[in-house]
Amino acid sequence: MKEAAALSALIIWVNSNAGMACQFNIGIQVNTDIWIFVGFAVISGFAGSWVGSEKMNNQSLRYLLSFVLVLASAKLVFT
């Protein structure tokens, strides 16, 4: 279970970076305040990985991963 959560986080990270690279390639301009959000995302990522690997058991992690996947699926269907 923990390997599935880690792999899905890695896939999301790679996908997000590829999307941003494409946006930069077509010339998108980014506000300098974006680095505040990037910092929060990095800190949250480290905190979440620590909680997931050290504090949560497999059953809780399974429920959380299921919830996130259902949420992502619903977003994909409705947008």
* CA 6/CA 12 separation, integer angstroms: 10
pLDDT over threshold 90, residue 2: no
Per-residue pLDDT, 28 = 86
Range 53-69 burial, b when 16+ CB lie within 10 A, else e: eeebeeeebeebbeeee
Q: What is the pLDDT of residue 68?
A: 86
The closest alpha carbon to 8, from 60, 54, 56, 67, belongs to 67
Evaluated on CA atoms 23, 24, 25, 28, the torsion sign reads positive
**pLDDT for 26:** 93
- Per-residue pLDDT tens for 14-73? 998 899 899 889 988 888 888 899 899 889 888 887 887 788 888 888 888 889 889 999
